[in-house]
Structure 1
Amino acid sequence: MDFVRSLTAPIRGRSRLCLTGALTVLALFLPSTPAMPEPSGGARVRGGAYMGIGVLAHDGDTGSRPPAGRASQPEGVDVASHQLNVDWPTLWKDGTQWAYTKATEGTYYTNPYFTQQYNGAYKVGMIRGAYHFATPDTAGGATQADYFLAHGGGWSKDGKTLPGVLDIEWNPYGAACYGKSKSGMVAWIRDFLNRYKARTGRDAVIYTATSWWSDCTGNYSGFAATNPLWIARYASDPGTLPAGWAYHTMWQYTSTGKTVGDHDRFNGATDRLKTFATG
């Protein structure tokens, strides 16, 4: 403080220019805080990722939406902390029947709005589930599955709880494939899925985009026989699916829907959605 007074006292009553110059000199003696690098994909800090964060940047949006013939497919939404407290009654009145909430990311983040979002969907009558945003560069697949299960990612055969989802897509904090080889990525995913199945008795759903899956797993087909596919594509149809899957179970078709942005369709009638929940 004595140093500050020594700089400012002599310039009282003088022009603002003199004061500005003195403060500039003072700044030279103060430690500076380096700017944080801006990660690719849109997430500014760890924990800020969400389902579909890289879809617009990498696959775009055709601007068209599912035709009327798909109206019989139950509407769903997926939410994360950036949606804050979700208006579930409005979504329910608009015909939304199911929902997924982000529970965790890596082994370092839990959604602070998880309780309101996960329980809120259930209370209005929706079938709901939880998803995990994978970061394969921070911890192993089995370890992340355990973290997910410890923070809301479980499943119960109550007819109102959907199986957990592995959200595996573009890395919003760095290299798209998290620095892993194609075989390394497949091994990581397998470790996550095996641990989830061993602890819950259900096969987790895989959420991904065809282009990411092709680039980062080599379009691996080995999970299609056991794990349901949730495909991301903002268009009037799901498009080409990753290798091995003859059909998708869920489809994220837009990031600009009503009330919350991300809206989805279940590939079947309402009775099939209920069957899917019970396993």
Structure 2
Amino acid sequence: MSDFNTTDFNNPSTFILLGIPGLEAAHVWISIPFCVMYTIALMGNFTILFIVKTEPGLHEPMYYFLCMLAITDLVLSTSTVPKMLSIFWLKSREIYFSLCLTQLYFIHCFIAMESGIFVAMALDRYVAICDPLRHSTTLTNGFVAKIGLAVVLRGSILALPYPFLARQWPYCRTNIISHTYCEHIAVVKLACADICISSYYGLLVAFLVTGVDVFFIAVSYTQILRAIFSLPTKDARLKTFGTCSSHLCVILAFYIPALFSFLTHRFGHNVPPHFHIVIANMYILLPSMLNPIIYGVRTKQIRDRLLWHVTHMK
């Protein structure tokens, strides 16, 4: 316990993750919904991957993007939740500095990837609804592969400076991180140095990723909504609008908590720390749980194949 609050060390080999400060007595109870959400995320996303892989009729752009999203959600949630549960259940708060930086990289890398996949899916829906006759010729397998590669490269490259910037700072005051995982700003705030470079880079990435992606998603769905309201029948409008509104709910469940967490770290000094940390966990877990439900179970082709597999297992 001597590592918890020391002032005479330099660049510690381990950090201490406190979990949710102020709510330590409730850690076990808080872990229950998080564990349930993580279990649903694992089962749902693996189910999506299995069904799309085994059903040749689902080898289409929308389902390829759905598989990319499932893989991203699995990596993102698994990067944080197991360690968080070990803090809550086993009081295992220590994390090696190198593992902390690795976790930091994976979190920011795959958050950027998920944002890029949402843009790709919005593009797919835009072409499918606004220009359906050109959908198969525009979104070819080769084009989808290029989009996927661009999403992966963008996330990987933009997140790469985070661990390198965090590693260069001297840590000489404390090794206690008031969080459940190694978030970039939460880590570099412990440095006894001017961290303006890290802070400004985080702002730049937030603009390049969140700002640009939200803009393109908003433009796509604006055009989609215009096309929906021009459909000739009320049933067609309601059906298409129902699908798009559920997609928008998932997108909002990702961006709103992420934006709240980002702004709170920099400007929300009056926000209670425990509330901020809970929201920071929700923006990783909630979309990972909702995505396979909204995009999978509510998609007729996937739902039919899932029911077929369930009935033939008996």
Given the two structures, how large is their TM-score scaled by the length of structure 1?
Answer: 0.25
Higher radius of gyration, 1 or 2? 1
Q: Relative contact order (alpha carbons < 8 A, sep ≥ 6): 1 or 2 greater?
A: 2
Given the two structures, how large is their TM-score scaled by the length of structure 2?
Answer: 0.23
**Structure with the largest fraction of strand:** 1
